Amino acid sequence: TEAVQAAFREVEPSLPADVVVEPALYQLREFIDRGVYNVGEALVVGAVLVLVVLFLFLLNFRTTFITLTAIPLSIVITGIVFYLFGVSINVMTLGGIAVAMGELVDDAIVVVENIHRHQQLFPQRSLVDIIPGAVDEVGGPTILATFTVIAALLPMAFVSGLMGPYMSPIPINSSLGMAISLLIAFTVTPWLVLRLM
Whole-number pLDDT of residue 77: 87
Q: Are 184 and 74 in contact (CB under 8 A)?
A: yes
Whole-number pLDDT of residue 159: 81
Whole-number pLDDT of residue 73: 87
Q: How far is CA 128 from the centre of its chain?
A: 29
In the chain, how many H helices and how many E strands? 9, 0
Q: What is the pTM of this model?
A: 0.73
Whole-number pLDDT of residue 12: 83
| Residues in the chain where the model's pLDDT stays below 70 | 24-27, 58-59
How many whole angstroms separate alpha carbon 152 and alpha carbon 36? 26
For the beta carbon of residue 88, count every other beta carbon within 10 angstroms: 9
Q: Are 102 and 50 in contact (CB under 8 A)?
A: yes
Which among 159, 179, 161 has a CA at the least distance from the CA of 169?
159
SS3 content of the chain, % helix, strand, coil (to 5): 80, 0, 20
How many whole angstroms separate alpha carbon 64 and alpha carbon 71? 12
Phi, psi of 113 (to 5 degrees): -65, -40
How many whole angstroms separate alpha carbon 104 and alpha carbon 177? 7
Residue 19 is which amino acid? V
How many whole angstroms separate alpha carbon 196 and alpha carbon 66? 8
Whole-number pLDDT of residue 162: 77
Q: How many residues does the chain have?
A: 197
Whole-number pLDDT of residue 25: 59
Phi, psi of 39 (to 5 degrees): -70, -40
How many whole angstroms separate alpha carbon 197 and alpha carbon 193? 5
How many whole angstroms separate alpha carbon 53 and alpha carbon 151? 26
